[in-house]
Amino acid sequence: MLANLLVVLPVFALILTGWIARRSGALGPAATREVNRLVVYLALPALLFDIMANASLEQVWQPRFILAFALGCALVFCLTLWLRIHQGARLADAAIDGLNASYANTGFVGFPLVLALIGESGMGPTLVATILTACVLFAIAITLIEATRQSGARRRDIVRKTLFSLARNPLLVAPVAGAVVLLSGWTLPTQVNAFLSLLGGAASPCALIALGLFLAGTAPQASAPQARTASMLIGMKLVAQPAATWVIAGPLLGLPAVATHTAVLLAALPTGTGPFMIAELYQREALLTSRVVLVTTALSVATLPLVLALVGS
Return d(Cα 94, Cα 269) in angstroms, integer.
21
At residue 195, the pLDDT reads 95
**Spans of all domains in the chain:** 2-310
At residue 155, the pLDDT reads 58
Q: Tell me the average pLDDT across 5-27.
A: 84
93: pLDDT strictly greater than 80: yes
Q: Phi/psi zone of residue 119: left (φ > 0), alpha (ψ -120 to 50 degrees), beta?
A: left
Beta strands in 249-306 (DSSP E): none
259: pLDDT strictly greater than 80: yes
At residue 165, the pLDDT reads 66
- CA distance to 104, 154, 169, 184, per residue, from 233 (Å): 12, 33, 27, 40
**Residues 296 and 101 sit within 8 Å (Cβ to Cβ):** no
Return d(Cα 14, Cα 11) in angstroms, integer.
5
Q: Which CATH code fits 2-310? A: 1.20.1530.20
Q: If pLDDT is split at 50, 70 and 90, which confidence band does 285 have?
A: confident
At residue 233, the pLDDT reads 96
Q: Residue 271: what are its φ and ψ, rounded to 5°?
A: -65, 135
Query: Beta-carbon neighbour count of residue 230 at 10 Å?
Result: 22
At residue 157, the pLDDT reads 60
Give the pTM: 0.81
Lowest mean pLDDT among 151-160, 249-258, 289-298: 151-160
Rounded percentage of the chain residues whose pLDDT exceeds 70:
89
* Bigger pLDDT: 240 vs 127: 240
Residues 6+ apart with CB under 8 A from 87: 229
Q: Which residues face 104 on adjacent strands?
A: 271
Rounded percentage of the chain residues whose pLDDT exceeds 90:
29
DSSP assignment string, 145-173: HHHHHTTTS-HHHHHHHHHHHHHT-HHHH
Q: Tell me the average pLDDT across 2-25.
A: 81
At residue 156, the pLDDT reads 62
3-state SS, residue 254: coil
* Half-sphere CA count of 39, side-chain side, radius 13 A: 23
pLDDT digits over 187-223, tens only?
889 999 999 999 988 888 888 888 888 888 765 566 6
255: pLDDT strictly greater than 60: yes
143: pLDDT strictly greater than 80: yes
